[in-house]
């Protein structure tokens, strides 16, 4: 059944890559098939909301997408995939094996936790919001922590060292870029609206690239006291060619991540198209 709506709530995270991509769209700087209204939340909250179908268009972890593929389809633009972008495992001291250890995780539906389970199937996970992971490890409340987003730039400030780069592990295993996050639209929206939103997200990103200083106040407003240098490093790392269009290689990477998640019982199988049909 096709849904008719007049305004779309657009969910994305406080992270600089998302606020950079969506600045022009939420500010009305670029055309969209319908007006959008920003809804900013941490990614784990957005993951949980997607399970309930709460938002018509939303950022989500690819791991969480695999749980809601019957209800949502991914846009080709606006996502986070790439090389050298993976989550890290950090600790206060060197550890040889994390099986049996307590590891702080940013959430059950994050791609990061799926990757950790693929490498260490017998860890004991302690889940918390992503920005609480490093302080918890530094306080000794977990043996190690799984960090995402800007934390990969700031973990030394917490006296922590890197044990494992899960993105490097994935690239070594598959030769593919790592899928981290996608932008989803509900499948019950008309196809022309889905395609129009895909185009609008791409044009919003192109606008940000063409006017790089204009979004900075908006990005800084939501950056959780991040320094300007970290904000720019975050954008440079996570916003890339795959953000403009996932492309054939990105699609292969998403299918491989889904296959492995199904194989270990971490996600249901689904034969629906993964991405919005292009024009």
The residues carrying an active-site annotation are 149
Torsion 259-247-119-137 (CA) sign: negative
User: Which structure tokens are listed for 123?
Assistant: 């860890």
Q: How far apart are CA 45 and CA 135, in angstroms?
A: 20
């Amino acid at each position: 059944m096709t849904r008719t709506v007049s305004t779309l709530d657009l969910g994305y995270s406080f992270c600089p890559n998302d606020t950079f991509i969506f600045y022009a769209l939420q500010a009305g700087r670029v055309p969209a098939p319908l007006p959008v209204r920003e809804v900013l939340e941490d990614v784990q909250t957005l993951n949980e909301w997607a399970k309930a179908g709460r938002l018509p268009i939303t950022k989500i972890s690819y791991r969480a997408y695999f749980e809601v593929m019957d209800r949502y389809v991914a846009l080709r633009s606006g996502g986070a995939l790439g090389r050298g972008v993976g989550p890290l495992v950090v600790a206060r001291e060197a550890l040889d094996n994390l099986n049996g250890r307590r590891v702080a995780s940013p959430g059950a539906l994050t791609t990061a936790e799926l990757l950790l389970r693929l490498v260490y199937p017998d860890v004991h996970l302690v889940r918390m919001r992503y920005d609480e992971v490093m302080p918890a490890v530094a306080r000794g409340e977990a043996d190690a922590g799984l960090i995402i987003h800007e934390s990969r730039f700031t973990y030394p400030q917490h006296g922590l060292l890197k044990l494992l780069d899960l993105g490097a592990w994935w690239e070594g295993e598959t030769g593919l870029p790592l899928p981290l996050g996608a932008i989803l639209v509900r499948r019950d929206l008309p196809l022309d609206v889905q395609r129009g939103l895909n185009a609008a997200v791409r044009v919003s990103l192109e606008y940000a690239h063409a006017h790089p200083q204009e979004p900075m106040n908006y990005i800084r407003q939501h950056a959780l006291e991040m320094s300007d240098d970290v904000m720019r490093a975050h954008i440079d790392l996570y916003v890339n060619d795959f953000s403009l269009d996932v492309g054939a290689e990105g699609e292969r990477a998403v299918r491989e991540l889904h296959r492995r998640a199904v194989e270990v019982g971490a996600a249901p199988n689904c034969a629906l198209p993964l991405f919005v049909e292009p024009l």
